[in-house]
Chains A and B, each alone.
Chain A
């Protein structure tokens, strides 16, 4: 558990007291001891308030640009009452099924991702469907990245986003999760996923004549 092991948990404050009991007012730190010593309970309460939650988001049939807004909110901790720009209180978001996102309208064909290698003639334009074929996590990642303000915090915030193209999430990440984010829009059922009996029993307004040819 790295730097937060139970070893340096209670004794730290004790050590502090013992060292400073003799010569007060002589060091700058000693004066601090008077007002800012924290009990184990207060420290635990801070640990609870600033605990990083892991959220799970299912991108199936979701608009990545709308989803990005919700994901950003959780990544930056904007949904918390303790939020403050100088407060490091962002959560982790695990996105699954990013392969099954749904872009609105003809965005798959019309949306273009630009990249430049910085060499002359190094510009390239990739269509959304091409990018998605190459890497099914990139569209949503870029949507989240571009949805945030371009400040120094952005890349650190992005580190808390974990995108998986399907529902195969590694076990150690799955264990961290303690919350789920709901869909932004209902997931439609595809016709070929409905059983033939159900289709058969579905109410019909008219019965086609037998000789009627369906084209």
Chain B
């Protein structure tokens, strides 16, 4: 996140009106293509209108396309989404392919995504199937009966045998063996 994003509107990725659960509805409802008939900066847009506009309208019957010539002004795409938001995209000196691509973006997005900073890249209503973690999730239920402080619970879990303890063990084994031998001979 850079400083230019500090005062941006923030949000989470959400589908509009559970889009896709029932059926898919394209969220771009209408687009106005504004261009100049003479100026060179509108050349790509004019090319687009000449070659691709009819195809675009045929492929997307759910989007109303308006074309609006205006003299000596920067060409622009004005998109209106179903949530009521409007987006103005200037396309000065854009080539025909670029106009196509930007229009594709407008068509496929839910809203003006460049005007919003996503706080997370995902969204879920139920983040966990097992149920969210609690401090008691992995706790031994036996701890319910403990009266604190319990000296046993302070003991290290992996307390290694000390040399002294090892020595004692050997000593005891030795004594035991000696006692056995004495019993056998005696």
- Within the assembled complex, what's the spacing in Å between the Cα atoms of A56 and B143? 13
A 105-122 binary contact with B (CB < 8 Å = 1; else 0): 000000000000000000
Given A179-B143, A183-B155: A49 and B150 interface contact (C-beta under 8 Å):
no
**B148–A174 CB distance below 8 A:** yes
A-side interface size class:
20 to 34
Which of chain B's residues have a CB closer than 8 A to the CB of A81?
133
**B residues bordering A, Cβ < 8 Å?**
131-136, 139, 143, 148-150, 153-157, 159, 162, 167-168, 171
- Within the assembled complex, what's the spacing in Å between the Cα atoms of A148 and B168? 43
Give B60 Cβ to nearest chain A Cβ, in Å: 29
- Within the assembled complex, what's the spacing in Å between the Cα atoms of A20 and B154? 54
Which of chain B's residues have a CB closer than 8 A to the CB of A203?
167-168, 171
Partner of A180, one of B131, B133, B150, B162: B150
**A51–B153 CB distance below 8 A:** no
Given A178-B143, A182-B157, A183-B154: A51 and B133 interface contact (C-beta under 8 Å):
no
The residue in chain A whose Cβ has the minimal distance to the Cβ of B14 is: A35
B interface SS class? loop
- Within the assembled complex, what's the spacing in Å between the Cα atoms of A186 and B151? 12
- Within the assembled complex, what's the spacing in Å between the Cα atoms of A177 and B150? 11
**B149–A56 CB distance below 8 A:** yes
**A residues bordering B, Cβ < 8 Å?**
45, 48-49, 51, 53, 56, 58, 80-82, 96, 167, 169, 174, 177-180, 182-186, 203
The residue in chain B whose Cβ has the minimal distance to the Cβ of A53 is: B135
Which of chain A's residues have a CB closer than 8 A to the CB of B132?
45, 48-49, 82
Which of chain A's residues have a CB closer than 8 A to the CB of B156?
182-186
**A58–B149 CB distance below 8 A:** yes
- Within the assembled complex, what's the spacing in Å between the Cα atoms of A185 and B157? 10
- Within the assembled complex, what's the spacing in Å between the Cα atoms of A182 and B162? 18
Can you name 24 A-B residue pairings with CB atoms under 8 Å? A45-B132, A48-B132, A48-B134, A56-B148, A56-B149, A80-B133, A82-B132, A82-B133, A167-B149, A174-B148, A174-B149, A177-B149, A178-B143, A179-B139, A179-B143, A180-B154, A182-B153, A182-B154, A183-B156, A184-B156, A185-B156, A186-B159, A203-B167, A203-B168
